[in-house]
Amino acid sequence: MAHRLHTLKGHLGSSLALKPCSQSDKPEDVVIVSALRTPIGKAKRGSFKDTHGDELLAAVFKAVLDETKINPSELGDICVGNVQDPQSLLTVRLAQFYCGIPEDVPAYTTNRACSSGLVALANVAGNIRNGVYRIGLAGGVESMSTYDMGKNKNISLNPRVADLQKTLDLLLPMGITSENVAERFGISRQKQDEFALSSQTKALKAAEGGLFDAEIVPVTTKILDENGQEKILTVRKDDGIRATTIEGLSKLRPAFKENGSTTAGNSSQVSDGAAAVLMMTRDEAQRRKLPILGIFRSFAVKGCPPDVMGIGPAVAIPLALEKAGLTVQDIDVFEINEAFASQAVYCVEKLNIPANRVNPKGGAIALGHPLGCTGARQVATLLHELKRRGQRAYGVVSMCIGTGMGAAAVLEYPGST
């Protein structure tokens, strides 16, 4: 695709301002030199049901360091997205020690629900751009086998809250917000099932063609069989991808609401996984003679009504594109998280995105959605797909966020050199 000349304007997140610049590359550009992920396992019953998050995270930390030959002591900071782990910082510190990152390299975690992995990248990019350090490691991890989703029984409401309905909307189950999107915006069960079928079909074709191989780090782990016997296995493929038919999807019963349209088949899978992304300035990458996999061009987060939180990408993507000086037509690939088919369909239609540019290797309906990992996983999937195509190109990563928000980032693949 031929892209028009554009001006980078706006901010990479609230604290990451970009000066207006021309199409030419800048030494201070924040670039990605490695982006890798584990396979994604089915929570509770899949390949990683007995694997802790620190083990998954250590595998991808080690892989990006090995790929780039970076001395781990040179890392300025580590930021990891995570949603459910109450000891997430401990998990990250354990992971860094497992793979030889020294104790004097600091680390922290961030939680903005399903966007946490992408927010981790934005945080590291911001600190690099602001001169806090030159090299940073970002990523995401979620072991949904270890920590159940939505099981917090200790939520209490402030009896003096001014807007009780808005507060109640914040606590709606995600499946109900999917039903709200479908009803409010007329997204039929047929459209949702067709979108789900497309996700599975694309993912299956990509897996069979080896298109995920470049982004996946094989993980050797232990698993308990049905008899409680421990065995060692090496996981190389995603668990959730499966042959699917529209007939099979149409027979599934609504999962969240009687006579609803959201089912297990047109929703994302509950999953385990981790991803890591190594970032630095362009001149640092060039000094080290490291190939540039991607350029972090812009980032945006924007709120939306909590009861239809799934529309988040539809409000965040335009803002991220505006900051990058681009339009929908300039983007070659959109990686939009498929929390539910209802919201993904709505966002694609609302923004008039060509269907063939959306999740070309499938999305979370097929691959799974390990909450804190997903944003970083999408970046790995996007950049390796753009690299496979070989030409200079733009991509967008976006997702909806529980409580009513959307996040989006614009990335650029510089082309084969």
CB 87 within 8 A of CB 81: no
Distance CA 382, CA 397 (A): 8
Catalytic residue among 52, 369, 373, 384: 369
Concerning whether 400 is annotated as a catalytic residue, the answer is yes
Residue 260 neighbours by CB distance under 10 Å:
18
Contacts of 40 (CB under 8 A, 6+ apart): 238, 239, 240, 271, 272, 273, 367, 368, 370, 373, 377
Catalytic residue among 114, 304, 347, 373: 114
Q: Which of 91, 71, 67 is nearest to 80 (CA)?
A: 91
Q: Which of 141, 44, 159 is nearest to 89 (CA)?
A: 141
* Token pair belonging to 208: 């069979």
Q: Which residues pair with 141 in a beta bridge?
A: 274
132-171 burial, b if ≥16 CB within 10 A, otherwise e? Answer: ebbbbbbbbbbbbbbbeeeeeeeeeeeeeeeeeeeeebee
Distance CA 376, CA 139 (A): 6
* Token pair belonging to 67: 């790929």
* Token pair belonging to 82: 């995570």
Backbone angles phi, psi at 234, to 5 degrees: -110, 120
Concerning whether 304 is annotated as a catalytic residue, the answer is no
Catalytic residue among 79, 99, 347, 400: 400
Concerning whether 6 is annotated as a catalytic residue, the answer is no
Q: Which of 32, 33, 34, 88 is nearest to 56 (CA)?
A: 88
Apex 386 CA angle, 64 and 24, nearest 5:
90
Residues serving a catalytic function are 114, 369, 400
